[in-house]
Structure 1
């Protein structure tokens, strides 16, 4: 399976480790940075319009708690890859670049 993506965000690891988080957006759904709607309360806040909405989104909110406290990468629904600084420098990618991600099933089914 091959799929085209646009690199939407590149961030350094928050704990100072030598890693980079690269976030991809679907090439068909990508909006340039100026066109995105940002939450005025910050990226970790979720808005609710009713108690039912709160209960429906509670599992998603709970799964993001560890990320909000620094326990992981960037909270997002987009695919995010963690790569070393060397891999990042070797690839030479930047925000807005179009990339293709290919997934293949390994011939070896055992571990």
Structure 2
């Protein structure tokens, strides 16, 4: 089975969309970065390096230093699909990030988005 095109897309191609979505709703790049750090365990320096070197979404999640175990508590719809029902691991990780950024853009407090 062929890989989904989203897997090979560089993180740097989708990252600006996350930032733009958040900023349109009065949120910040710093908050998006905090979500990414919480979800993946990447430091700010690591994130910036990955954005600069063309790392694919698949590699970004596959090599994440510390996927947050609480991420499995993320529930709800994203793109009309229940996140918790996505079976393919990399797609589920991508959709977790999508869902968290959506929650940020909806105005939820960070304490309610990230279960620390």
TM-score, length basis structure 2: 0.27
Bigger radius of gyration among the two: 1
More helix by share: 2
Bigger relative contact order, structure 1 or 2 (CA pairs below 8 A, ≥6 apart): 1
More strand by share: 1
